[in-house]
Structure 1
Amino acid sequence: MADLHELTALEQWRSLQQGEISPTELTRHYLDRIERLNPGLGAFVTVTGEAALARARQVETEVPRTRPLWGLPFADKDLQQRAGVPVGFGSRLMEGTVPETSDLLVQALDEAGGVSLGKTATPEFGLPSYTEPVAGVPARNPWNPALGAGGSSGGAAVAVAARMLPFAPGSDGGGSVRIPAAACGLVGVKPSRGRIPAASGLDVPGGLPVAGPLARTVADAALLLDAMIAPDGGRPAHPFAVRAPGGDEQLLGAAVRGEGRYQLGVMTTSAWDDAYEISLAPEALAALAVAVDGFAAMGHGIEQTALEPDPSYAPAFRALWQLSAARIPAETVEQEALLEPLTRWLMHRGRALTGRDVAEALTTLATYERSLIRQLSRFDAVLTPALALTPRPVGWYDAVDGERNFAQQVQYTPFTSMVNVSGLPAITLPVAQTPDGLPMGVQLIGRPGGEATLLALGAQLERRIRWQDRVPPAAR
């Protein structure tokens, strides 16, 4: 029999359901791998081994097997608060913080029957698209530890790619699930705004951040996504009057069946093209060609498309991103000194915004949302590169100049943030490898509530390419 970590999450779930393994056995297996592999990769900032084993025993005796994640290990991103477990937000400012209550997403994953093994690494307050916090160690790419893992769900991506977890939840405010998934050779899903009740995006200005899964296979991502949406396996209880369109059917079925023929758009333009010099690496274009050829061979319609130029996007998004840093609890000179230069720059820019600035940025992005949905509406899904460049070396980003740092992030990840602004669903797929073995992926953007279509398309391409059989050197 294959080692447990070599099985997909869905295969592990079936083994749990059939009694071939127990939650405690599976938890011990992954804790042993974390102990061996994490020191060189920086995936976890906190490992809660004793609590995880106690939770596994509780699942065995008290949690119904019908719960969608029964006995499966995961880990909380270190932006999520779990009662009694330190939360650092990737920042020296927050060291020693131990929350008394758990966030809604944490509660949902517990209700689904999962077993948390600890906290995965994130950059400071989740703001950068790379995970190299001064407060900790870099999250290193399992395919080449000299390279970064992307961010902000970088620790989660490293843990899944290195087989320290079967899958992991992340959060995505500008690409923070899809970027590290692409950099580490994983499937990453950013759901529609409002789709996940516990992390809908509807309670945040601009509605940018939502939760989403990182996994090795499309079906594994759908398994975790279903649990995020409806942790008791029933009808999701949405706490807002507004929610994502789409039925309440489980998405795992769409991922397993992988059926349908669709009309796909293909584009290499982004919302940032009017503000920055965006250059696509040959490896990014090669990965896009692999996906286009694969979908065309399966009978899908393929049509080239391009975005309409819109110079209003970049300043409005920058303003909203800066606003998100304005609430960081650094009020004194001593507290500010604990922040990294990029965070300080974002925070000061955010605090300098006027009410009028914020209102205009929100209005501009709401207009862009309608425009993007209109432009993509004739397609079932639109294909783009996942990243413009190959995974970046650790230390590549400017550690002092916030303006240059922001530009570097845009030039690496120009295709992700516009999906958050529009509230659309998207999935990254690890379709290719560079000649030296680095993963390169593509992104599929769906219609509002169109996760099932994205999962079906991803499953079809996965069956053809079989990226799940690739194993990073650090995971062996």
Structure 2
Amino acid sequence: MTDLHELDATDQAALLRSREVSSVELTGHHLERAERLGPELGAFITLTADRALAAAEQADRRLAEDDPAPLLGVPTAIKDLTSTAGVGTTMGSALMRSNVPTVDAHVVTLMHRAGLVSLGKTNTPEFGLSSYTDNDVVGPARTPWDTSRTAGGSSGGAAAAVAAGLVPLAQGSDGGGSIRIPASCCGVVGLKPSRGRVSAGPVGSEWSGLAVDGPLARTVRDAAALLDVLAHPMPGDPRHLPAPSIPFSTWAAREPGRLRIARWSDPYLPGVSSSPESVEAWQEASRTLQALGHDVVEVPNPFPPELEPQFNRVWSSGIAAAPIPEEALELLQPNTRYWLLRGREVTGAELAAAMQFLESTTREVLVAMHEFDAWLTPTLALVPPAVDWFHETGDPADAHRRELEFTPFTAVYNMAGVPAASLPLHVTAPTADRSALPVGVMLAGRPGEDGPLVSLCAQLEAATPQPARLP
């Protein structure tokens, strides 16, 4: 008999609507797993069991009234970067241990309205700055496939929780790959929506245009269902896409038609190369797409390496602007201090020039690549490294170099503002010195065309023999 946590969110929701299980039962089942397995994985910073069970009771009342909300009563989790009223939100920093927001982020409000039941706040690196999850609050997040290896970041706790069946789907955020990186490391689906698709309000800022909230899930249809919950323009949004005319869940059930897909596997950064495992996963996906009738065309990587230093100026300026007292700097992790101090060296003119360069350069790429409906690359250049690999030298500049070697594909899509998704279509063979590990492939689409991308991802997922989702 299939255990409840082995079902995806869509199937769990069907059980709830048929009254075969209650939300209280479903939530209790997942809470038990989160309490038992979560600490070893570093999945959660805070569990909110009492709030979750109260929300589940409310969901059961709505279910009894035949409320049609598709994900009503399904367990989920919120990333600890995301403001949640009345719940500790540390942002992965020891400096923020006592931070309890009084306002919900819009994504939290929308998830609550949809009847999703949050079990708590998932692990993230300090202020979400790195592509691996580790901090001084609860320590590292680990992939359930091999707990000696990183879950990736910055939504590492969310991805680990979904992969291990602690929740069937979770909210994450992505400013340079922070949904897709951990999705690849943990063998789940990670979808970064288009710029402006999901509101960062009411107190968040979209000043750089890089970051956006989105789903981590076990299946494409679940990711689409959560995006349906999140993708609503909200009052005050400085940049937003209109509400979609077709639900993303509908796109997930729709054939995409024959598409023209560009592919490349060489990173845009000089001196960085893709591992054989990453290329193998990418080749397998290419062959499947061709067998589905798509026109898959090999092209050179269209993004120039000059983007990387300009991205760094924007990225570091964000943390440099944070109101962190001078006397508190020594309490920050070395990686955080590294980025903060780099950001303080960036002048206003340099920041403006960097933002202009990102926009104009990615605009040129989008125009040059407009003949293609989608782009296919590896998600990462490496399989999930050991938990301590990034900081084993103690030099944060070296940690940054290793991050570039690890994830040279994801950030360009944040710069361009396009939708992109990592799909868990490949698992390496185990060897004498390592377990089988998941390897993601990444598809990206045109700006604002999240629906067609979801359709293509669902088609590719259905055509690929699926590895075990619960390692």
The alignment's TM-score, normalised by the length of structure 1, stands at 0.93
Q: Secondary structure at the match of 2:81?
A: coil
Conserved? CA contact 1:143–1:184, under 8 Å = yes
5 Å-filtered alignment, 1:65-464, equals 65-198=67-200, 203-230=205-232, 236-237=233-234, 239-240=236-237, 242-244=239-241, 247-271=244-268, 273=269, 276-308=270-302, 310-333=304-327, 335-398=328-391, 400-436=394-430, 437-464=436-463
> Is the partner of 1:390 in helix, strand or coil?
coil
* TM-superposed deviation, 1:270: 3.8
Residues 1:130 and 1:47: Cα distance change in structure 2 (over 3 Å): same
CA separation of 1:370 and 1:294: change in aligned 2, threshold 3 A: same
**Cα 1:14–1:417, aligned 2, differ >3 Å: closer, same or farther?**
same
* Equivalent residue letter for 2:348: G
- Alignment partner, residue 233 of structure 1: none
What SS is found at the alignment partner of 2:137?
coil
Counterpart mapping for 1:1-12 below 5 A: 1-12=1-12
Q: Distance in 1 between matches of 2:200 and 2:170?
A: 16
* CA–CA distance in structure 1, aligned partners of residues 382 and 275 of structure 2: 5
How far apart, in 2, do the equivalents of 1:364 and 1:199 lie? 26
In the superposition, relative to structure 1, how do residues 298 and 432 fare at CA in structure 2: closer, same or farther (>3 Å)? same
Give the AA of the match of 2:468: R
Q: Could you tell me how far apart the structure 1 residues matched to 2:255 and 2:161 are?
A: 27
Match of 1:145, SS state, is: coil
> In the aligned structure 2, how far is the partner of 1:304 from the partner of 1:245?
33
Distance in 1 between residues matched to 2:239 and 2:46, nearest whole Å: 36
Q: What are the ranges of 5 or more consecutive residues in structure 2 without an aligned counterpart? A: 431-435
Q: 1:373 to 1:237 in 2, by over 3 A?
A: same
* Cα deviation, residue 203, structure 1: 4.1
Evaluate the alpha carbon distance shift between residue 404 and residue 279 of structure 1 in structure 2; reply closer, same or farther with a 3 A threshold: same
**Alpha-carbon separation, structure 2, partners of 1:371 and 1:202:** 29
CA distance in 2, matches of 1:287, 1:411: 18
CA deviations on 1:285-310 (whole Å, 9 max, x unpaired) are 00001100111111111101123463
**Partners of 2:333 and 2:362 in 1: CA distance:** 32
What is residue 16 of structure 1 aligned with on the other side? 16
The change in CA–CA distance for 1:398 and 1:374 in structure 2 (over 3 A counts) is same
1:251-284 CA-partner distances (Å, limit 9, x unpaired): 111112344221111112444x2xx421110001
Q: How many residues end up aligned between the 2 structures?
A: 463
CA distance in 2, matches of 1:452, 1:293: 23
After superposition, the Cα gap between the structure-2 partners of 1:83 and 1:26, relative to the gap in structure 1 and judged at 3 Å, is same
Please report how far the alpha carbon of residue 139 of structure 1 lies from its aligned counterpart in structure 2 after TM superposition: 0.7
Contact 1:245 1:449 (8 Å CA) reproduced = no
User: Which range moved further: 80-89 or 181-190?
Assistant: 80-89
Change (3 A) 1:328 1:309: closer
Letter in 2 for 1:356: A
* Structure 1, 104-113 or 120-129: larger mean CA deviation: 104-113
Residues 108 and 198 in structure 1, CA contact (< 8 A), matched pair in contact too: no
Aligned residues of 1:173 and 1:208 also touching (Cα < 8 A): yes
Aligned partner of 1:31 in structure 2 is: 31
- Give the CA deviation at 1:464: 1.9
Report the more deviating stretch, 209-218 or 308-317: 308-317
C-alpha distance in 2 between matches for 1:419 and 1:90: 25
The 1:355–1:153 alpha-carbon spacing in structure 2 relative to 1, beyond 3 Å, is same
Offset of 1:247 from its aligned partner?
Answer: 3.8
- The structural deviation recorded for 1:380 is 0.7
Shift of residue 198 of structure 1? 4.4
- The answer for unaligned runs of 5 or more in structure 1 is 231-235
Deviations 1:329-353 (A, max 9, x none): 32132x1111011101111111222
Post-superposition shift, 1:439? 0.5
* Kept in 2: contact 1:193–1:201 (CA 8 A): no
Q: For the residues of structure 1 that align with 2:172 and 2:77, how far apart are their CA atoms?
A: 9
| Structure 1 residue 242: Cα displacement | 4.1
Q: Is the 8 A contact 1:326 1:347 kept in 2?
A: yes
Q: Identity of aligned pairs, percent?
A: 43
SS of structure 2 residue aligned to 1:159: helix
User: Match for 2:230: what amino acid?
Assistant: M
* Cα gap change, 1:310 to 1:39, in 2 (>3 Å): closer
How far apart are residue 135 of structure 1 and its match?
A: 2.4
Q: Superposition RMSD on alpha carbons, in Å?
A: 2.0
Question: How many angstroms apart in 2 are the aligned matches of 1:212 and 1:200?
Answer: 17
Amino acid at match of 2:78: D
Distance in structure 2 (CA, Å) of the matches to 1:420 and 1:259: 24
| Cα distance change of structure 1 residues 311 and 181 upon mapping to structure 2, 3 Å threshold | closer
Contact 2:43 2:123 survives alignment (8 Å): yes
Structure 1 match to 2:468: 470
**Cα distance change, pair 201–128 in 1 and its aligned pair in 2 (3 A):** farther
Q: Relative to 1, partners in 2 of residues 1:96 and 1:200: Cα closer, same or farther, differing over 3 Å?
A: closer
SS at match of 1:280: coil
